[in-house]
A and B are shown apart, each in its own frame.
Chain A
Amino acid sequence: MNFDKELDARGLNCPLPILRAKKALGELTSGQVLRILATDPGSVKDFVAFAKQTGNELLSSAENNKEFEFYIKRK
C-alpha cells in the first residue's frame, strides 16, 4: 500500500504509539496516508478506537511476527 509518511513506534508502549501517531497525522494533509509500525499488542484495539474517535480512517491493520502494521488516512 502507498503511504506518505512512516512512523516507527516499535518498542514503544502505551500511550506513546497513539500520541506519536496523532502528531504524525498532524503533519499530513487531508487524504494522505500514515504507515505505523508497532510492537505493543494493545495498539491493535487502540488504533481502532483512535480512528473511530478522531475520524481518521484506519485503512488496514495487520500482524506479522509480533509486529503490527497500520495504515491510517488523515481526515
Chain B
Amino acid sequence: MTDTTNIDELINQRLEALLPQKLEALLQAREEAKTPSLAIIATKGTLDWGYPPFILASTAAALGWDVTIFFTFYGLQLVKKDLSDLKVSPLGNPGMPMKMPFGPDWFKSMNWNIPNIVQGNVPGFESLATALMQQTIKNNGVASLTELRELSQEAGVKFSVCQMTVELFGFDHNDFVEGMEYVGAASFLPVAQVADVTLFI
C-alpha cells in the first residue's frame, strides 16, 4: 500500500514537471503546421474600394494562406465579367486627393480642391475623376483590378457570391466570371469562424 502511494506520488510529480513543456511543444508544432486562413467580405463596388479585397487575397494566397472572399451587395460589381465600368467618386470623399496624372511636376503635385457642389452638378465629373484615377494607377505600376482578380483566382482564392443580393439587384449568374460559388450567409459564417483573419471591406 505504501509502495503504491509512493509510486503514484512520484508519477504525479514527474508528470507535473513534464506535462507543461510537452504541451507547449505540441501546441507550438500544431500552430506551425497550420495553414493560416483569411476570410473577406467585399461590400463595395467602386474602382478604389475594389483594390483592398483583391490585393489582400492575392497576397495571402502567395504567402500560402487559404483565402475566401464573400461578395455581397455592391461588392457584386467586383465579380462582373467586365470591370471597365467601375467608377470612383470624389463626391463626399474629402480624403481623396484630386491630382492630375500628367503634365510637369509642379502641375501634377497640385491638389485640386473642388467643392462638392461643383462635383455634384457638373455632368460627367465622376467619369473624369475615374479616367484620371485609371491613368494614375497605370503611371504608378499598380495592377489593374482585372489582373489582381485573375491572379487571385489562379492562386486558388475561393470566390463566394451572395445569392440573395444577386437576385435583389436583378443580376444573372451569366453576368459574373466563372468559378463562383453562389451561397448564403449560413455558408460563409462557418468559413469565417475558423479563419485566422476576417475582414469586412
Contact = CB atoms under 8 A, between A and B. Distances in A.
B64 A16 contact: no
Interface in B160-184: none
Contacts of B130: none
Given A53-B64, A54-B64, A15 B59 contact: yes
A13 interface: yes
B23 interface: no
Nearest to B62: A22
Interface in B124-181: 140-143, 148, 151, 155
Interface in A31-73: 39-40, 49-50, 53-54
Contacts of B155: 19, 22
Interface in B37-65: 55, 58-59, 62-64
Interface string A9-24: 0011111101101100
A11 B142 CA distance: 9
Query: Interface range on chain A: under 10, 10 to 19, 20 to 34, or 35 or more?
Result: 10 to 19
A28 B143 CA distance: 24
A40 B59 CA distance: 15
B30 to A, nearest CB: 17
Contacts of A16: 141-143
Contacts of B143: 12-13, 15-16
Contact of B62 (A11, A12, A18, A39): A18
B45 to A, nearest CB: 21
A12 B59 contact: no
Nearest to A15: B59
Contacts of A49: 63
B141 A12 contact: yes
A54 B142 contact: no
A22 B143 CA distance: 16
Interface of A: 11-16, 18-19, 21-22, 39-40, 49-50, 53-54
Interface of B: 55, 58-59, 62-64, 140-143, 148, 151, 155
